[in-house]
């Protein structure tokens, strides 16, 4: 049976399977945050959980904003709309678009699913944790870009960045392949 975009039921199922990765990311993200909240008091560095000297540290912090704490001091209503409602709409659209799009590769679909999972993981915090998103990984950055330490992040953030980079690389490769075919 075909749908409105001529996708069979099997094609839709194949395109939604990668979202099991999104679910895994959400579960692992919330589990790591639960462990941090339960066992590490807020704004506490745990010396026993430092790796490579002070290369990687575990510290429980809260972020009321988004990336790099941007918007953390904005009024609560503004933060709720901009950091919760709008991302929820964007995530829903990304899921819909990724299922309907015929151009994405299997790898790109898995990347999108991981990014969606990370987005939902942080969205859960923004909606249900009044003290902000739980961040806990603190990495030395050796003065690069004037930063001695990279802003503290969590598992969801890591998934968004890592799979976002992979997704961008796949798009660049597709464009490059397309240009090579066009020159022949």
Spatial contact of 2 and 8, defined as CB atoms under 8 Å apart? yes
Q: Which helix (H) or strand (E) holds 105?
A: none
Spatial contact of 149 and 50, defined as CB atoms under 8 Å apart? no
Q: Which helix (H) or strand (E) holds 17?
A: none
Q: How many other C-beta atoms can be found within 10 angstroms of the C-beta atom of residue 173?
A: 12
List of residues 6+ apart from 23 with CB closer than 8 A: 117
Q: What is each CA distance from 101 to 16, 84, 95, 150, in whole angstroms?
A: 12, 25, 10, 35
**Which residues have a catalytic role annotated?**
135, 157
Spatial contact of 18 and 113, defined as CB atoms under 8 Å apart? yes
């Amino acid at each position: 049976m075909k749908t409105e975009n001529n996708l069979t039921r099997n094609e839709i199922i194949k395109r939604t399977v990668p979202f099991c990765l999104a679910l895994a990311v959400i579960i692992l993200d919330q589990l790591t945050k639960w462990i941090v909240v339960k066992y590490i008091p807020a704004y506490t560095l745990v010396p026993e959980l430092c790796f490579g000297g002070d290369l990687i540290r575990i510290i429980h912090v809260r972020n009321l904003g988004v990336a790099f704490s941007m918007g953390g001091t904005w009024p609560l209503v503004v933060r709720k709309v901009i950091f919760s409602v709008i991302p929820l709409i964007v995530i829903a659209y990304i899921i819909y678009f990724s299922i309907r799009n015929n151009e994405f590769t299997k790898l790109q679909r898995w990347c999108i699913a991981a990014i969606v999972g990370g987005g939902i993981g942080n969205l859960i915090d923004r909606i249900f944790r009044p003290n902000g998103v739980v961040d806990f990984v603190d990495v030395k950055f050796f003065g690069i870009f004037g930063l001695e330490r990279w802003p503290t992040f969590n598992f969801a953030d890591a998934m968004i960045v890592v799979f976002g980079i992979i997704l961008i690389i796949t798009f660049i490769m597709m464009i490059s392949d397309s240009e090579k075919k066009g020159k022949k």
